[in-house]
Chain A
Amino acid sequence: MRVVKKICINCPAGCHLEIIDDNNTVKVSGNRCQRGVKYAENELRNPCRVVTAAILADSEPRCCIPVKSSAPVPVKLIRTLLDDLSKMRIRLPVAVGDKIIRNFHGTDIDIIATGGHE
């Protein structure tokens, strides 16, 4: 049984959570809404984060396309994702919402353009 302190990152409120991890049960306090409970459970079992990045376009003059993951990515896969993205060059034109990578490493998570360019 251990007590873990975590700040919830779901919204700007940033509630300071106190999580009691007792093998199979998780008790959460300090949350101002129900999303904090789900967040606490995930933090203990499988922490994930939304990843955003800027990828170079395959064009002159130099420009970048901002992207985001369609869902939070398991933390242990983030370095691999970022390394893959840094090696990519995006072919223009790109529109907001275009899928740059589909189903990254079998996670069902896509990498989506958040900015467009001609």
Chain B
Amino acid sequence: MKIYNVDIAVIGGGAAGLTAAAKCAELNSQVMLIERNEISGGVLNQCIHSGFGLHYFKEELTGPEYAARLTEKVENSAVQIMTSCTVTNINPAENGNILTVFSGKYGIFEVNAKAVILAMGCRERCRGNLGIPGERCAGIFNAGFAQQLINLGQYLPGKKAVIVGSGDIGLIMARRLMWNNIQVQCVIEIMPYPAGLSRNIAQCLEDFDIPLYLSHTVTKIHGSKRVEAVSIAPLKNGAADLQNERKIECDTILFSVGLVPENELSRQCGIQLDPLTNGAITDSNLMTSVKGIFACGNVLHVHDLVDFVSLEAERAAESAVKFCRNELADGTFIPAVPGENVRYVVPSRVLQQGHKHFFLRSSKVMDSALLEVKNPSGENIFSRKLRYVKPAEMIAFELEDFSADSLEISLKEL
């Protein structure tokens, strides 16, 4: 069996993987990028709308354009790109991780990598996860899959749709369906606030007079061979208020109900996952609980802006390169824990010395909030006033050297 020896193996050729691989090559490391699809780009290829790259490229680009910029960088570098290749196993070891890779093109081969960067992205939660009563009729799609059908093939999923979930994927698809002459009856959202960006509420719902029903849930899917309608009900005290249940006619349902990081490989090789993010627990070097294995992008935690994915991937690449050269910053890692109104913090363990990047998400919508980083005695290490805080928008901040046994990161409503 053929064995490739490399410094760094990057698993996944989407936004995170492409950025990480390009960075590794830029820093003169020998890197292989392994992507299961025929072409790289990941989900960017199907995101044909614009809104990407404002931070990273200082330009507003569509998904495919963003992917093309990254792919060009990779193709003009020394990165060895292996497409149509799937990593099926990671065997971590002191002197080099062995990856087993399956492909139609090359058969089965192994990659011996000093360091590995995980960049596998996410897949979608589906109707089955929600346990909605009804039959398994035709016409039920995940929003991302419907996006792939329309944007990569102009296959239209139906004529009259209901969208479940007001995250950005659902909102973007509301506009995409309307632009393709598919009537969108409404968007249903279980929370009392929209899950996606306000900008998308405006340009995807308000522009088309599509009603958004907040604090509503889907109680049944009607139809046998094909969807005929959905029943929805408002939430009352956390449960469906069936007294006010109503039926909405449709032949298509799009579910936009959350993304799940694809961590099969991570679990298989013993990496510890954080139940708050469904991604690996990492330290401020973006290293997982397995030495020499790093993670970045959506597989680590679900991002809103691809620009932040690229910035995170660059940092993972820098760490992986340092690790290969035995130059990775070491020391005592102290815990960084989410406090009041914070759903999660990445990373969970940080070094006291050095420059550190943090990402966090609020668990509450707040007009004004004070981001506070405190030590166990309650003393303030860092604080910043924030406006328009919402769970849908990730918050980033940086810290320099500090001294504390642990950090608590919280958002105080003002």
Q: Does B202 contact A9, Cβ atoms closer than 8 Å?
A: yes
In this complex, what residue of A is CB-closest to B390?
A14
- In the bound complex, how far is the Cα of B64 from the Cα of A61, in angstroms? 20
A7 at the interface (CB under 8 A from B): yes
What B residues does A116 contact at CB under 8 A? Answer: 68
Q: Does A12 contact B305, Cβ atoms closer than 8 Å?
A: yes
Q: Does B48 contact A53, Cβ atoms closer than 8 Å?
A: yes
Q: Does B199 contact A114, Cβ atoms closer than 8 Å?
A: no
Among B54, B63, B199, B305, contact of A8 (Cβ-Cβ < 8 Å)? B199
Take A96-B68, A114-B64, A115-B68 as given contacts and tell me if A12 and B199 are in contact as well, using a CB distance cutoff of 8 Å: yes
- In the bound complex, how far is the Cα of B51 from the Cα of A52, in angstroms? 11
Q: Does B48 contact A7, Cβ atoms closer than 8 Å?
A: no
Please classify the interface of chain B as helix (H, G, I), strand (E, B), loop, or mixed, using the class held by over half of its residues. helix
Q: Does A16 contact B198, Cβ atoms closer than 8 Å?
A: yes
A105 at the interface (CB under 8 A from B): no
In this complex, what residue of B is CB-closest to A14?
B198
Take A7-B202, A11-B199, A68-B62 as given contacts and tell me if A52 and B48 are in contact as well, using a CB distance cutoff of 8 Å: yes
Chain B nearest CB: distance from A79 CB in Å? Answer: 9
Interface residues of A in 85-118 (CB under 8 A from B): 86, 96, 114-116
Q: Does A64 contact B154, Cβ atoms closer than 8 Å?
A: yes
Most buried by A among B48, B180, B201, B388: B48
What B residues does A82 contact at CB under 8 A? Answer: 179-180
Interface size on B, residues (CB 8 A): 32
In this complex, what residue of B is CB-closest to A6?
B202
In this complex, what residue of A is CB-closest to B206?
A7
Most buried by A among B61, B154, B197, B200: B154
- In the bound complex, how far is the Cα of B201 from the Cα of A59, in angstroms? 36
What A residues does B304 contact at CB under 8 A? Answer: 12
Q: Does B65 contact A96, Cβ atoms closer than 8 Å?
A: yes
Q: Does B199 contact A7, Cβ atoms closer than 8 Å?
A: yes
Take A7-B202, A66-B64, A116-B68 as given contacts and tell me if A54 and B48 are in contact as well, using a CB distance cutoff of 8 Å: yes
- In the bound complex, how far is the Cα of B180 from the Cα of A64, in angstroms? 14
B327 at the interface (CB under 8 A from A): no
- In the bound complex, how far is the Cα of B75 from the Cα of A116, in angstroms? 15
Q: Does B48 contact A14, Cβ atoms closer than 8 Å?
A: no
A77 at the interface (CB under 8 A from B): no
Chain B nearest CB: distance from A19 CB in Å? Answer: 13
A20 at the interface (CB under 8 A from B): no
- In the bound complex, how far is the Cα of B54 from the Cα of A70, in angstroms? 16
What A residues does B49 contact at CB under 8 A? Answer: 52
In this complex, what residue of A is CB-closest to B67?
A115
What B residues does A78 contact at CB under 8 A? Answer: 179
B3 at the interface (CB under 8 A from A): no
A49 at the interface (CB under 8 A from B): yes
What B residues does A96 contact at CB under 8 A? Answer: 64-65, 68
A26 at the interface (CB under 8 A from B): no
Interface residues of B in 55-75 (CB under 8 A from A): 61-65, 68
Take A9-B199, A52-B48 as given contacts and tell me if A64 and B152 are in contact as well, using a CB distance cutoff of 8 Å: yes
A38 at the interface (CB under 8 A from B): no
What A residues does B305 contact at CB under 8 A? Answer: 12
Q: Does B64 contact A62, Cβ atoms closer than 8 Å?
A: no
Q: Interface residues, chain B, CB within 8 Å of chain A?
A: 45, 48-51, 54, 61-65, 68, 150-154, 179-180, 197-203, 206-207, 304-305, 388, 393
Q: Interface residues, chain A, CB within 8 Å of chain B?
A: 6-9, 11-16, 49-56, 62-64, 66-68, 75, 78, 82, 86, 96, 114-116
In the complex, besides A8-B202, A50-B50, 10 extra interface pairs with C-beta distance below 8 angstroms are: A7-B202, A11-B54, A13-B199, A14-B199, A49-B203, A62-B153, A63-B153, A68-B62, A82-B180, A96-B65
9 contacts between A and B (CB under 8 A): A7-B206, A14-B199, A52-B62, A54-B48, A66-B63, A82-B180, A114-B48, A115-B64, A115-B65
